[in-house]
Structure 1
Amino acid sequence: MSSSEDDKPLLKASNGVKSKDHISKEVDVALDKESPSGQRTHPGVSIRFGPMEPMDVDETQTNGNVNGKRKSRGSLTNGKSYKEASSSEEDEKPLSKRRRTSQKAKQTKEESESESSDVPLKARKPPRISPEQIGELSDDDVPLTKKLVKEKIAIEKAAEKEAQHLRKEKAAAARKRKPKAESESEDEKPLAKKKQPAKKKGANGVKKNESESDEPIKVKATAKKTTKTKAQPSTPATKGKSKAKQEQTEEDREAEEEEEQYRWWEAPTQHDGTKKWTTLEHNGVVFPPEYEPLPKDVKLIYDGVPVTLHKDAEEVATFYGSMLNSTVNVENPTFNKNFFEDFTAILDKTGHGKDANGNTVKIKSFEKCDFTKIFEYYQAEREKKRALPQAEKKALKAAKEAAEAPYMYCIWDGRKQKVGNFRVEPPGLFRGRGEHPKTGRVKKRVMPEQITINIGKEAKVPEPPAGHRWKEVKHDQEGTWLAMWQENINGAYKYVMLAANSDIKGQSDYKKFEKARELKQHIDRIRKDYMREMKSEKMAERQRATAIYLIDRLALRAGNEKGEDEADTVGCCSLKYQHVTLKPPNTVVFDFLGKDSIRYYDEVEVDPQVFKNLKIFKKHPKTIDDDIFDRLTTSALNKHLSSYMPGLTAKVFRTYNASWTMARLLKEMKPTGTIAEKVKEYNDANREVAILCNHKRTVTASHTMSIEKMQEKMNGLRYQVWRHKMMMIDVDPKIKKKKGAEFFERPEDLDDEWVQKHQESLVEEQRQKITKKFEKDNEKLKADGEKEMPEKELKDRLKAADELAAKFKKENKTGKVEAEGKSPSIEKLEAAIDKLNQRIETMRIQMEDKEGNKEVALGTSKINYIDPRLTVVFSKKFNVPIERFFSKTLREKFDWAIKSVDENWEF
C-alpha cells in the first residue's frame, strides 16, 4: 500500500491497520446507498440528554472507568470597588452553584440519585436534562434537541454573514491602497491559498500600529487615563475605596498606583515580539520546610510489630499514613502498588526497619503494613491547629506572610509585578486524575541543585539555601518564567510565573480572545472548505476535513499522542476504534477519557457525510486500538489551519464558538427587573453556550448530599413561615376566619417527626453559637491582658438555648405559637412572612440550578472560552455589578477586560 507524497507527512506510526490512501468511488456509492438520501445536516448538538437505546452496530468500549473529579473552580460588596472587594465563602463558589434557573429539576432528582450511585461509570447511563435547564419554558412543545439544532443553525448562519461582511470591509479598505485589478484578483483566491499581506514591522519585529506615534507608551497611557477618569462619575462600587486601601500592603498600593498609569491593552502590539523583558529582578523561590521526624511513640506497624525507620523512609511512610481518609486514593490498587514500589526502593537503600530490640525487619508486604498510628497522629495535629485561638491563628498567618513577602513580587522592566506560584511544591504522593498510571508514585523533594533561575544580567542573583547552589542561572529575555525545575513523576518542567492579574498573563488571555475574534473573518470559508473536502478521494484530506468538523461543531480537543507511562487521555486526532460507536442513520456515540482523565461521553447527530466517513475510517480490518484518523496528526492539522489565518490552531475554535454564541445571545437580550433577574438571564445564556459548545463535567460524589442539605434549609424556612402564621392567630384570633383554615395549615411533609428533629437541631445550633461566642470573647480578653470569664458565665448564656427548647416543647403540647418580638402586629408578621418566602424562592431556584447544572460546566465556558469582555459589556449595559459574575480572583485576572471596554463593545 503506497501513499502519495502529500500523505506521507500525515501518516501515523502505529501497530494497527492503516487506511488506504485513496477512497474509491465504489466505496462511496455503496455507502451512500446504505444511508437515506436528503437528510438534513445537523450542526452537532448533543442528544445524550435523553434515553439511551441499545445499539446493534458497534459495541461501545471506553478506555477505563474514571474516578477522578475536577476541583471546583465565582459577591456583591458594600462600598468597595471590584478589585478591592474581598471574597466571601459564597464568592468562592462557582456561579453554577448559586445561579437561578429552572423549574423541573426536582423531577429528575430520583434519577440523578440512582445515576450517581456506586454503579460502575462504564455501565452508568448519562442523566436526562430538562428544557428548563437551558432556560426554556416547561410548556414548550418543541423538543430540546430540535430547538438547539435550530438555534445553532441560526447562529452559524449569522457567523457566515458576519465573515462575509468583515471581508467586504477589509477588501474595500485594501482597494483604496492598491490598484483595483490587483485587489479583485486577490479576492477571488481561496482563503487558504492567499498570500498574507506583508506586515509593517518595527525594529524589534513587532507590527507597527499606524495609529500609534513614537511617544513612549507609559506617557501616552497616562494621558489617556487622565482624560478618561475626569469624565467618569463615581459608582457604588468605588465608594469606600479609601477605606479598603488602608488595609492594603505597601506593595499592593505601589503596584496599583503604577497600574493606574499603565494600560498595556491600549497598545498591545508593543508586546508581540519575542523579547519579553529588558530588566528582571526577583528573590527566587520558597522551599517547603524540612521534614520533622515522628514522636518516638508513633511508628509504622509491620505484621503487628512497631518498627523504627530511617528518616527518609519514615517521611515517605507519613505521605501515605497522613492520607488514609482519602479513600479514593488508598482504595485504588494502582495507587497502593505504585506507592509500595517506591517505598520499598527507599527501604532497600536505608536498611528497612528495626524492631524494639534493634533487629532488622524486612518490609516486603503492603498488606502487613499498618499506618493507623501515623494517621491518628497527623489527624490530632490537624485538630490542634483548628482548635488554636483566633488570635494565635492570625499571628501564625502574619508570620508566614512576612516570611514570604520578599518572594511575592518581582521587578519586571522597572514595574512591580505579583508572582504567582513562588512556592516549590512539597514532597508527597502523586495523585493525578482519573486512572493515571503513575498515581501513588513518590514526588521527591525538589533541591536547589535542580532549579534554574531566570533573571536580568545586572540583577543580583538570589542566594540559594546555605550549603546549596542553583543548577543554573539564565538571562532568557524571551521567557516569562522566573524559575524552573523538572519534577520526577512525568519528567515535566515546572515554572514559576507571574500572577494571573499581571500584565504578562493578561496579555496572554487578551491575545487568545483576539485570535478568536480574528477567526470571525474566515470561519465561513473554513467551513465550506472542510464540507467540500469531506468528499475528497484522498483519505488524508477526508480525515482532516472530518476532524475539523468534529473540532468545530462538537468542541472536541485536537488531542496529542501519549507515551505508555502517561494517562490514556484522548482527543480528536488520537481517537481509536473503540472510542467511536456508530448508530444509523447518523448518530455517533463518543466514549473516551478526555483532558485530565475526565470521561467524555456524548451522543451526537452529525452530518450524514461525517457519519459515512467515520464508517470508512473504521472499516474492516480495523479493530480495537487502531487509530481512526491514522493519516492525521495534530501538528499537520494545525499547519493546515494556519494557512487560513496566522496562528490559527484547533483550540481557537472552542474559544471562538463559545464567545460568538454568547455574543449573539447577549445581543438579543433585553433584561429588565431586579439585578437577580438580570443575572438569571445572563446565566441562562451561559448555560446555553455550555450545552451548545459541549462543555461537560462529571457529577461530584457530594452532589446528592449537597442537594439534601439545601432542601433541609428550605424546609427550615418553610417551618418558620408556618410559625409566623400561627403567631398571627395569637395576635388576632379572628384572622383565622378571615384568611381561612387552609392558610394556617402546616405543610404535610413537615410532619411531627420532622418538626421534633428540626427543633432539636435549632436548639443545638444555638448552643454551639453561644459556646463559640463565649470562647471568642475569652480569646479577646486574653489577648488584651484581661481576666477571662468563668465557666459560670457560659452556663448563664446557655440558658437561652434551654428556654428555646422549653418554648418548642410548649408549642408542641398546646398547638399554639406565641408572637415574638416587640409590639407584634399582623402587618409586621405578614412582612416577615414575605421576606421568608423570598428567601425560600431564592433557595429553591439555587437548588434547581445546582441540580440542573450538575453535568454542565458553566464555569469552564465563562472563565476559559467566553471572552470576559462580553460579561463586562452585559454588566455595564444593564447596570449589574461585575461582582455578580466574577469572584475577586477572576476580577483580578480579567482586570484588563473590565477596564478596556464600554457597553458598546462587540466581539
Structure 2
Amino acid sequence: MASDSSDDDMPLARTNGHSPNISPQADREMDKSDSKARPLPPGVSVRHGPVDEAMDIDSTPGGAAKRKSRSSTGKVNYRAESDSDDGAPLAKRQKSKHKKAGSDSDDEPIAKKKNGVKLPPSINETATVESSDDEQPLGTKLAQRKANIEKAAAKEAKAIRSDAKVKNAAAKKVTKEESDDEPLSKPKKRQSNGVSSAKKANGVKKEPESDSDVPIAKKAKKAATPAKTTKAAAVKKEAKFEKEESKENSDDEEEEEYRWWDAPKKEDDTIKWTTLEHNGVLFAPPYEPLPKDVKLYYDGKPVQLHVDAEEVATFFGSMLHSTQNVENPVFQKNFFHDFKDILQKTGGAKDLNGDPVEIKEFKKLDFTKIFQHYRAISEAKKARPAAEKKAEKAEKEKLEAPYMYCKWDGRKEKVGNFRVEPPGLFRGRGEHPKTGMVKKRVMPEQVTINIGKEAKVPDPPPGHKWKAVQHDNKATWLAMWQENVNGNYKYVMLAANSAIKGQADYKKFEKARELKKHIDRIRADYTRELKSEVMADRQRATAMYLIDKFALRAGNEKDTENEAETVGCCSLKYEHVTLREPNTVIFDFLGKDSIRFYNEVQVDRQVFKNLKMFKKPPKEDGDDIFDRLTTSQLNKHLSSYMPGLTAKVFRTYNASWTMSQLLKKLKNDNTSIQEKIKLYNDCNREVAILCNHKRTVGAAHEAQMEKLGDRIKGLRYQKWRTKMMMLDVDPKLKKKKGAEFFELDKDLDQAWIEQHQQFLVEEQKAKIKKKFEKDNEKLVAEGGNPMPEKELKERMKAATELEAKFKKENKTGKVEAEGKSPTVEKLMAAIDKLDERIKTLELQCADREGNKEVALGTSKINYIDPRLTVAFSNRFKVPIEKFFSKTLRDKFNWAIQSVGNDDSWEF
C-alpha cells in the first residue's frame, strides 16, 4: 500500500544524512555478511524476555564485534514540558542524553550493572505441548509450527472474505428482485435491510466493519430475519420484559443479572449512563503518631520531629524489610530529598533538649526503632484470637459497605477502587527514576466527583469540600484526582465484573477477531514493502514485522520531565538493538513500566538487512532506528485495512488465534481432569513461546518445586508404610506379590525418612495446638471457661506416641497395621488412592516446571479470548473453576454466559 506520508520534505537532521529513497546499490551493500553461519528459522526467540536482572553481553557468541555500551538504556530522559514534540517536525525528535561516568549506579548501562548473572532461559530449555525424540532442533520445529499457524490464518482470512462476497452478491440479487415490485420512492428503505448479508460465524452474526465496536448481541439483533422468526422473537422478548416488570425491586431480594450482551443496542454509544448515584470515595485513615519512646535516630542520637515529618520517616522505617527498595540508591536519594523538604517546611529536627539538629547525610539516619515498632504491631495483629480478627473484619466491611456499590442506570454495580490510596513512598516498577519519592496524602479538595444531576452529591469529610462536582454521562469514572509524583490522574471506576468493563473486554477481543479477515493482506503487504525503495515504507514494514512476529509494543516518545525513558518498537534507539550475523537481533531496552525487555530473536534475512541499514553510520547512540516513523503514522496506516486497527490488536489476535489452533488439535481422550488441565496449560505455554510472551524464573520457584517434590516423596513413603501394613495383616503376601512390590523407593533413603517422620510429628503437634486454641476460643465466646493447660498436654500424647511408633518401625523394619479391622482389600484401596494423589502431584510438578518461564495468568487474562477457555471447558468436561478463579469468573461472566454449553465456539 502507498505510504501515508511523504518524506520528501523531511530534513536530513532527522535522518542523520540517510536518503528518503534507497538505491539498489545501498540495498546490495546490506547483503554482505560478516559470518558464514547458516541462518536460523525466523519468527521465534532464541532467548526470552522481558527480564529484570542485568547481564553482561558486551561480547557476543559467534565472533561478532563487541556491543556498544547502552548508556541511555538505564537512564532517564530529562525533558521540560515545553519540549513536547507534539507540534514539532519529526526531525526535531530529541536524542537520548548521556551522563558522565562516575554518577550514581542507576545511571550505568543495564549490561554493566551486574556480572555473571544467568541469561534468561533459551528456547531449548523450554517444555512445549509435544515432546519429540527426533534430532530436529526445537527452535526449527517451533518456527515451522508458527509458519503453519500463519498459513492457516491466511487460509481462514481468504475463506471469510470469499464467503462474504458470495453472501453479499446473493443479498444484492434478492434486494434487486424485491425492489422491482416496490414504488420508486422506497428503494432506500428496502436497501437498509440488506444487513442480512452479514456473515454468520460461531453462532454470531457479523456486521459491517464500521460497526465493529458494537456489542455482539446488539449486532445480531440488527440482522434481518424471516417474518416468523421475528414475530416469535418479539413475543419472547415481550414476555421477558413483562416478567422483569412484574418482579419487585427489594434490597432483600437478589437482583436479576444484567445481561448486557443480550440487551438492545443504544442509539448513542457515547452516552454511558442516564442516571448515576454513588457515595464518593473512602479516604485513608489519619496518621497515628509514634509512641514517645520510639524515635528516628541521627548519628546515633534520637531526634524529635513535627508530626508531618515523622509520618514521612515512618514510610521508610516501616519498609526496611523490603531491601530491594530501601537499598536502592535512587530510592534512597529521592526519599532523602523529599524528607529534607518536609523537614524544612515543618521546622526541622531537634534533639531531646529542643536544640536544632541539621540532617545532612542519609547514611547517618537510623530507622531501626521505627521498623521494630511496626513489626511488633504486625506480629501482635497476627497473634490475635480469631474472634477479634473476625470482629475487626466485620467493622471494616461495615465502613466500606456504602462505597462498594453504585446505582448505574438503576442497576446495582460494584465499584472497583473506591479507596483513595494512602500516603507513602512511590515504588514504581523496574528502574523508575522517581522511586522513593513521597506520595502525599490526597485531600477532598483535590477530588472531583462525577454523578447524575438528580442524585444526591456525597458529603465530603467534615471541614472539607470537593474540588468540583460534574455530571458527565460520557465518562465512566465516578471520582478523579491528580497524584503528585508523576502528575497522573487517578480514577475511581467500576469493578472488573461490571457491564462497562465487560463491554470493553468484549470489544477488544471482537476487534482481534475482526483482524482475522485482513491478516493475510496485511502480512503480504508488509512483506512486500520490506524491499521498498522508499525508506519510510521500508521502516514501517519492518516495524510491522517486529510487532506482529515478536509482540513488541508500538511505543511512544516521552515528553514529561523526569519521565522514565521507556520505549517500544517505533521509538527504539540505536543502542537498543544489536545485530549478529546472519539473522539474530538482540533487543535490550526499558519497556512498559520501566521493566527491562531483553530478547534474542531470529528474523527474516531481509528484516536483518533493513535493521542493518537503519543503523548505518552516521547514526550513533541516541538516534532513532525508525527515524521516519511514529506510532500515530503506523496506526493511521493500519486503520486503512480495518477501522480501529492499531498495533496493540496484533498481540491479542496472535495469542488468541494461536491458542485456538492449538486447542483444535487436542483429542478428548478418557484422561483425568488434571491431565486435561495440563493439556490446556501446555497450549497456553506454547502461545507464550510462539508469541514471545515470556518471563524469567521466579525467585521462589526452586523452593516451591522442592516443597512439591517432598510432598510427592511423603506420599510414596506413606504408600510404602501401607504396603508394610499389608504384610503385617498377611505375611504370605510377600511370596504372592514378590519382594519387589514391598521394596522402598530408591529416592527414599533412611536420612530423609527420619527427617520426614520428625516433620510429621511436629505437624501433628501444631494441629493439636491449633485445635486446642480454637476450642478454647469457642468456649470463651459461649461464656464458658477455657480448658487448662493439662488438657493440651494430654492431647499432645498422640504426637509423642506417633514419634515412638516411628522409632520402633525404624528399628524393627516392620509397620503395624492401623485403623479399625484392617484388611488387605482396604489397604490395597488406600494404595490406589495414594497412587492417584501421587500422579496428580507429579502432573502439577511437571506443569509448574514447564510454566516457570511463562506468566500463564497474564496471557489468560489479557491476550487469550476467554471464550476459548469456556469452549475448552465444555468440550473436555472440565469445570471452568479449574481455569478461572472467582475473580476471573466474575470478570469474564459475559464470556461464560454467551458461550453457554457450546463446545464448538471458535475464535
The equivalences for 1:237-636 within 5 A come to 257-259=255-257, 262-267=258-263, 269-270=265-266, 273-563=269-559, 565-636=562-633
**C-alpha distance after superposition, 1:22-41 (max 9, x if no partner):** 22221112223549999999
- Report the equivalent of 1:697: 695
Q: Is the contact between residue 37 and residue 582 of structure 2 (CA under 8 Å) also seen in structure 1? A: no
1:170 to 134, 158, 164: 164
Distance 1:9 1:223 in 2: 63
- Report the equivalent of 2:833: 835
SS at match of 1:270: coil
2:147 to 143, 153, 176: 153
Distance 2:421 2:12 in 1: 37
The equivalences for 1:10-21 within 5 A come to 17=16, 19-21=18-20
SS at match of 2:261: helix
Q: Is the contact between residue 558 and residue 566 of structure 2 (CA under 8 Å) also seen in structure 1? A: yes
Distance 1:280 1:615 in 2: 56
- Report the equivalent of 1:53: 61
How far did residue 45 of structure 1 move?
A: 1.4
2:644 to 644, 647, 653: 647
Q: Is the contact between residue 19 and residue 630 of structure 1 (CA under 8 Å) also seen in structure 2? A: no
The equivalences for 1:743-754 within 5 A come to 743-754=741-752
**C-alpha distance after superposition, 1:299-348 (max 9, x if no partner):** 11111111111100010111111111111111111111111111111011
Residue identity over aligned pairs, in percent, reads 66
- Report the equivalent of 1:193: none
- Report the equivalent of 1:6: 6
How far did residue 272 of structure 1 move?
A: 6.7
**C-alpha distance after superposition, 1:695-715 (max 9, x if no partner):** 112322212222222222222
SS at match of 1:160: helix
**C-alpha distance after superposition, 1:476-512 (max 9, x if no partner):** 1111000011111111111000000000000000000
2:783 to 782, 785, 788: 785
- Report the equivalent of 1:903: 903
Distance 2:737 2:224 in 1: 73
Task: Give ranges in structure 1 of 5+ residues lacking alignment.
Answer: 68-117, 183-195, 231-248
Q: Read off the aligned partner of 1:904 and give its amino acid letter.
A: S
More divergent stretch after superposition (731-740 vs 806-815): 731-740
Distance 1:536 1:796, change over 3 A: same
Q: Read off the aligned partner of 1:56 and give its amino acid letter.
A: A
Q: Read off the aligned partner of 1:794 and give its amino acid letter.
A: L
Distance 2:213 2:44 in 1: 43
More divergent stretch after superposition (832-841 vs 650-659): 832-841
Distance 1:446 1:153 in 2: 52
More divergent stretch after superposition (756-765 vs 134-143): 134-143
Distance 1:470 1:220, change over 3 A: farther
Q: Read off the aligned partner of 2:611 and give its amino acid letter.
A: L
Q: Is the contact between residue 408 and residue 419 of structure 1 (CA under 8 Å) also seen in structure 2? A: yes
Distance 2:435 2:494 in 1: 29
1:716 to 698, 714, 717: 714
Distance 1:662 1:250, change over 3 A: farther
Task: Give ranges in structure 2 of 5+ residues lacking alignment.
Answer: 50-56, 76-111, 177-207, 244-248
Distance 1:534 1:201 in 2: 32
Q: Read off the aligned partner of 2:576 and give its amino acid letter.
A: H
Distance 2:638 2:263 in 1: 27
SS at match of 2:381: helix
- Report the equivalent of 2:90: none
Distance 1:49 1:436 in 2: 22
- Report the equivalent of 1:210: 222
**C-alpha distance after superposition, 1:253-296 (max 9, x if no partner):** 76x6331xx32113574387211111111110000100000111
Q: Read off the aligned partner of 2:222 and give its amino acid letter.
A: E
Q: Is the contact between residue 70 and residue 621 of structure 2 (CA under 8 Å) also seen in structure 1? A: no
Distance 1:557 1:598 in 2: 13
More divergent stretch after superposition (738-747 vs 673-682): 738-747
- Report the equivalent of 1:120: 114
SS at match of 1:574: coil
1:894 to 892, 895, 905: 892
How far did residue 529 of structure 1 move?
A: 0.9
Q: Read off the aligned partner of 1:168 and give its amino acid letter.
A: S
SS at match of 1:397: helix
Q: Read off the aligned partner of 1:53 and give its amino acid letter.
A: P
User: Is 1:24 matched up with 2:23?
Assistant: yes
How far did residue 754 of structure 1 move?
A: 2.0
Taking structure 2 as the reference length, the TM-score comes to 0.84
Over the aligned positions, Cα root-mean-square deviation in angstroms equals: 3.4
**C-alpha distance after superposition, 1:811-858 (max 9, x if no partner):** 222222212111222222222222223222222222222222111222
SS at match of 1:467: coil
Distance 1:200 1:615 in 2: 39
Distance 1:536 1:59, change over 3 A: same
Q: Which has the higher contact order (CA 8 A, sep 6+)?
A: 1
Taking structure 1 as the reference length, the TM-score comes to 0.84
Distance 2:319 2:487 in 1: 25
Distance 1:850 1:644 in 2: 41
- Report the equivalent of 2:198: none
- Report the equivalent of 2:106: none
Q: Read off the aligned partner of 2:223 and give its amino acid letter.
A: S
Q: Is the contact between residue 554 and residue 569 of structure 2 (CA under 8 Å) also seen in structure 1? A: yes
Count of paired positions: 811
How far did residue 127 of structure 1 move?
A: 2.2
Distance 1:197 1:745 in 2: 68
Distance 1:517 1:825 in 2: 60
Q: Is the contact between residue 39 and residue 608 of structure 1 (CA under 8 Å) also seen in structure 2? A: no
Distance 2:691 2:785 in 1: 63
1:677 to 672, 675, 678: 675
More divergent stretch after superposition (729-738 vs 523-532): 729-738
Distance 1:221 1:151 in 2: 48
Distance 2:739 2:569 in 1: 64
